[in-house]
Amino acid sequence: MAAPSAEEKKQEVSKSPLGQVQLQNAKATASVIIHLFGACVTSWTVDGEEQLFVSSKAKLDGSKAIRGGIPLVYPQFGPGKMKQHGFARVYSWTLQKQESN
């Protein structure tokens, strides 16, 4: 089975009910999708090619941290006094300001 294309990946990620932010460079050659739940980067595409792995087992419904991508791990990595990998990756974040060029 072939890996999903960048476009298929974007469609899958966009099904999330949690909200997300998509950024694109001025030349439209690179883009990134950041989920507001956990501030997790779930897609990074360069010249139409996906650069990140997000597990097919990832829950995109807010029931647990997103499995894969680039997570926001704070204030600790691994097990410790707090939840594994800290609390930041299981909180909902908001976009405070949006600017255009």
Which pLDDT tens digit goes with each residue over 3-50? Answer: 445 555 444 544 556 688 889 999 999 999 999 888 889 999 999 999
Highest mean pLDDT among 36-50, 55-69, 77-91: 36-50
* Cα distances (Å, whole numbers) of residue 90 to 7, 8, 10, 25, 80: 26, 25, 22, 28, 16
Mean pLDDT of 44-62: 90
pTM of the full predicted structure? Answer: 0.71
